[in-house]
Copies of this chain bind each other. A is one copy, B any other.
Amino acid sequence: MRAVVIAAHGGAENLEVREVARPVAVGDRVRVRVRAAALNRADLLQRRGLYPAPAGAPQDVPGLEFAGVVEQLGEEARAWREGDRVFGIAAGGAQGEYVVAAESALARVPENLSWEEAAAVPEAFITAHDALFTQGGLTVGERVGVHAVGSGVGLAGLQLARAAGAQTFGTARTQAKLERAREFGLDEGVVVADDPKAFADAVRGRTDGAGVNLILDLVGASYLAANLDALSYRGRLVFVGTLAGSVAQLDLRVVMSKRLRLAGTILRARSGEEKARAVRLFAAHVVPLLARGAVRAVVDSVFDLADVRAAHERMEANENFGKIVLRVTGGG
């Protein structure tokens, strides 16, 4: 089968599309013929050699999420049948014509989604749902801050927060991204160039000083102090990424006096059982929203598998708004 292969660690020029052995599903796994697969920042890190695939996953074929058709079942797989339209997550290997995944890592694709849209969903929406609800305990009527609102996770978080009855505050590096984010549920946008304090000031100014109850942070260290400042009493800060560094000063007095909670989460590092739980909650709580159009996949751009280098370059340049998708195989 054809798949993206990381031939050597470094720049995008090390990506190649090659013939590799087709994987076989055993046990409770299923093989999916991949129609489309989306890119993640983790793919860039893996390409540079900074984020190796976990044991048991394909080491040189990247790809953490996909949409496609169930094509072969392991002998213990019970949840799916050949021909089912599914999307889901894998620890790697999704950017090829076939991927093998645990049956519990899949959900059924709603009929109203194209393959490209479906591929743009799993990582962003599973991560955002888990961070906002399972980790962050979001409740109706709360105020939520989302950094990097133009990213896949940011747009998923915005939409889910709005669907759950929250007021949303978001940051991006350009006014243009904030404007586009409005149609996905952004209530209050703040351009944050190099001064994260602008976020805290804006939040305080627009909430009578009360702050936001929950922040979904993909940015990391450089925003930590501003995040603590922007949080309300009993606020929660959930880290899902560290784009701008990972080591920051933490003032425990603020954490204690405001009774804050900080939590970190990475989807890929979880056990199969925990991923299964996150996917089950996604299937139960997010897929119905997708099916009725209350939240939408945001596809920035679609590249053919052969153009994977250009796809990486677009993500690296931070030009995307929403997800970058690779079209892998054709068919109905």
Q: Which residues of A contact B (CB under 8 A)?
A: 220-221, 224, 239-242, 246-266, 269-270
Contact = CB atoms under 8 A, between A and B. Distances in A.
Nearest to A253: B246
Contacts of A239: 252, 255-256
Contacts of A262: 255, 261-263
B269 A264 contact: no
Nearest to A268: B257
Q: What is the oligomeric copy number? A: 2
Contacts of A247: 249-252
A287 B260 CA distance: 28
Given A248-B250, A252-B264, A261-B263, 10 more contacts: A221-B252, A239-B252, A239-B256, A242-B252, A242-B253, A246-B252, A247-B252, A258-B264, A259-B265, A259-B266
A261 to B, nearest CB: 5
21 contacts: A220-B252, A221-B252, A224-B250, A239-B252, A239-B256, A241-B256, A242-B253, A246-B253, A248-B252, A249-B250, A250-B250, A254-B264, A256-B264, A257-B269, A258-B264, A259-B264, A259-B265, A259-B270, A260-B264, A261-B262, A262-B262
Contact of A256 (B250, B255, B258, B265): B265
Contacts of A240: 256
A262 B261 CA distance: 6
8 nearest A-B pairs in the assembled complex, by CB-CB distance: A255-B264, A256-B264, A250-B250, A262-B262, A246-B253, A246-B252, A261-B263, A256-B266
A257 B266 contact: yes
A143 B91 CA distance: 30
Nearest to A269: B257
B260 A263 contact: yes
A241 B252 CA distance: 9
Contacts of A263: 255, 259-262
